[in-house]
Amino acid sequence: GENVEQHPSTLSVQEGDSAVIKCTYSDSASNYFPWYKQELGKRPQLIIDIRSNVGEKKDQRIAVTLNKTAKHFSLHITETQPEDSAVYFCAASRSGAGSYQLTFGKGTKLSVIP
């Protein structure tokens, strides 16, 4: 099955700096890569996703890059703000049997220091 590795497990940055979280995946057939943000005690919520036919995607201060050859993808957050503090999860999935099955990384706890 798919295996997703995520690094680092914790990350502290000064407000205004950039944060980068990296993930690798094992299944070359995976074709969908979402990123979820989970605030303390809350449910995971999608912040950005990318598909295997795209190399990079941006949404305001958030960007995701994908390298299919190396089987890794990264989340970039620029101009970090205290409200960016949360746990971030990457995930990978492949389509099949009518369902996208997500395999998650173990998460990165991001702390933005004011």
Contact footprint for another protein (CB under 8 A): 1, 6, 9, 32, 34, 42-46, 49, 51, 89, 95, 97-107
Q: For another protein, which is the closer residue by CB, 18 or 100?
A: 100
**Least Å from the CB of residue 12 to another protein:** 18
DSSP reduced 3-state for 84: helix
Q: For another protein, which is the closer residue by CB, 2 or 114?
A: 2
Q: For another protein, which is the closer residue by CB, 69 or 99?
A: 99
**Least Å from the CB of residue 98 to another protein:** 4
Q: Among residues 50, 1, 55, which one has the least CA distance to residue 29?
A: 1
List, in sequence order, every beta strand (DSSP E) within 1-114: 4-7, 10-14, 19-25, 32-38, 45-51, 56-59, 62-67, 72-77, 86-92, 95-96, 99-100, 103-104, 108-113
**Least Å from the CB of residue 22 to another protein:** 15
As given in the structure block, the two tokens for residue 98 are 């009518």
